[in-house]
Structure 1
Amino acid sequence: MYNAENVWLSKPRIAEAAKEEIWEQLGDISGRSIRIRNLANQWREDAVKQAKKYWNERIDYSREKWFFDSKRKLKEGIGWGEKDGFIKEIPPKTNSLLVEIDKIIKAKLSKVYEEITQINLELMHQYIKLLDQQEKIKYGKQIVLIFSDIGAKLSKPTEHLPKSVTSLKTIIRIEIKALVGNGWGDIYWEDVVKFKDNISSNIEKFITAIFDDRVELTIQALEQAIAFYNYFLERQDRYQQETPEQREAEKAWIDQQRRELDRVQKGLEAILNTD
């Protein structure tokens, strides 16, 4: 009964809402969704290229320092003192790689984040407030949760990993162990190349997984916003078509149901108060 009356009271608010403004919001959100879809692949590919370039440059530096002899001839491998010096340089290089990748992903995803922050959520909440109480709670929570989740995951992409993604730090630790795990043997250049390529491959997988996940979540958020406005417009069209007679008949039915409910409740109270 309460909800029926609440819906009845919401109808004039929804019917009188500014339709043109809603259509403007729909156009804006749809445009941003299309723009993200069209540009996401390029942003992701740019991020992968930058990260791989940074990593290749770190390895190229190590090759120049440790794997060329005095005659500028590439050594097959290194051992003893050279090996120790090379190994000591690996953690700082991989740590700087992780920092750089985090910066690269954030920079590229900032373009997605910018599209999200341009959406007028305050205006959307104003339209949500026009709904009946039940729908107001439903859409209010839905919009707040999905957009706050997107904000967190776009601003801290490497802290909130998709469930199926292993941290790059863990993968690098495994690759380092495979490279330097043989404490007595030499480190061969071909093993360093394999180490470089394995990490490079995982860099691409890592960035791609994060980027695709964030873009998909963003598209879903935009689709939720579009779905809300379409729902609102559908309700508005329906309510605008109702005649004053229909509204009066609905109000009379609500009043009748309330009287019936009051009668039943009083009857129950009388029974309970009987000795």
Structure 2
Amino acid sequence: MNNYFSTLRSVSQSVEGVLADQYKGVESMEIKQTANHLNLSVQACLKELTQSSNFLRKDLQACLVTLDSAEDKWQSKQQVAEIDTSEVLEAIGQVVGYWNQLQQQMEKITQEVIELEQRNWTLLIEELREKFFLDPKTQEQRVGIGWGDKDRFKLVFPSKLKLISNNLDQAIQAIFRQFRDSGQVFFEETFFFVKLLDVESQLQLNTEQVQLLRELQENAEQVSRTSDAYALNLYQMVGGVIEEWNKRFGEILWKEIEDLYKKGLEKIEERVELIIHDRLKLLEKCVQQVLLFFNDLLEKQYRYQQEMLTQHKAEKVWLDQQRHQVKELLADLEKNLNLSIPT
């Protein structure tokens, strides 16, 4: 390419000399017309050559970026090969131990919440029984209620039920809020080792971790959001029954309330376990990602240690050779592009 630039510049200078009457015997009108046409053609060639050189410069700069990335990976190989394996195994033990402890804690708290909310549900039903289904004179159990008692019951029961239902969801939310930062705790075990990787791998891992942590945060705030099912809350579960009471003329039977009570006990346990299990799966994804990272790190360490014996120095020499050649080409190209081009 240097020869092209040099030759075209030489022709351009010669043309300018003819047009300026610097050459004796080369002064006719015809030769000057030729010189003018030639000058236009030469300038077009120089313009095309300059544009091509600019494209080539971008490609050569991209080559250097590729080689820089390769050297970053090469340096990372050395750092990974020199990791103390016992530190990796210790970090794995910390993650597994904390995960087991976390599951036990969540199971314990989950059962406590289920028992508490089932007691609250039982107390509500007993309160309603005493208020509406016990004869005020004889204190005997009524089979059913109608007329005024029925109307008052239909006003009181939904509001009480909604309160119990909301309290249940708040209790579920409180459980997970206690543990939503656990994902960050798991990832913290990887931070030291991630810094030993090349920049590209670091960015990829950080992106994956941020995405999972964001998902944990969002799900901590949305109780009814589950990955595999939409869990109806306690209030929604009996909404159809209340609607049916409003439509019919007959009594509300105590047996209906007993059936609702049994379903409510089941629903409380089902809802708490479903949602907490769903959130635990998100935390488990964090644990799996961390353990996969460490497993991959140990596999790479073993491979890199084998390469260190034969390939490592040779790879460095090869990278340096390619970088030297590309830099020479780029420097030569920059030199030509920076030279002034005659017009």
* TM-score, with structure 2 as normaliser: 0.66
Matched, 1:49 2:135: no
1:120/1:190 Cα in 2 relative to 1: closer, same or farther (>3 Å)? closer
Give the alignment's Cα RMSD to 1 decimal: 3.2
State the shift of 1:116 in Å.
4.3
Corresponding letter in the other structure for 2:253? Y
**How many Å apart are 1:192 and its aligned residue?**
1.6
Taking structure 1 as reference, are residues 162 and 53 closer, same or farther at Cα in structure 2, changes over 3 Å only? Answer: farther
Alpha-carbon deviation of 1:113? Answer: 4.0
Correspondence 1:190 to 2:255: yes
Q: 1:97 aligns with which of 160, 164, 171?
A: 164
The equivalent residue for 1:66 is 132
Task: Name the counterpart of 1:86.
Answer: 153
**Contact preservation (8 Å) 1:165, 1:209:** no
Instruction: Give the share of equivalent positions with the same residue, in percent.
Output: 25
Task: Give the equivalent residue in structure 1 for 2:223.
Answer: 158
Query: Who is 1:211 aligned against?
Result: 276
Q: Quick check: 1:43–1:108 contact (8 Å CA) kept in 2?
A: yes
Correspondence for 2:296 among 206, 214, 231: 231
Do the aligned residues in 2 keep the contact of 1:48 with 1:204 (CA within 8 Å)?
Answer: yes
The structure with the larger Rg is: 2
Question: Cα offset for 1:183?
Answer: 4.2
How many residues in Structure 1 have an aligned counterpart in Structure 2? 267
* Gap change, CA 1:22 and 1:99, over 3 Å in 2: same
Q: 1:194/1:265 Cα in 2 relative to 1: closer, same or farther (>3 Å)?
A: farther
Structure 2, unpaired ranges of 5+: 1-65, 337-343
How far apart, CA to CA, are the structure 2 residues paired with 1:175 and 1:135? 56
Shift in Å, 1:66: 0.5
Structure 1 residue 19: Cα displacement: 4.4
Paired residue for 1:14?
80
**Cα distance change, pair 124–183 in 1 and its aligned pair in 2 (3 A):** same
Distance of 1:137 and 1:166 partners within structure 2? 37
The Cα of 1:68 is off from its aligned counterpart by 0.4
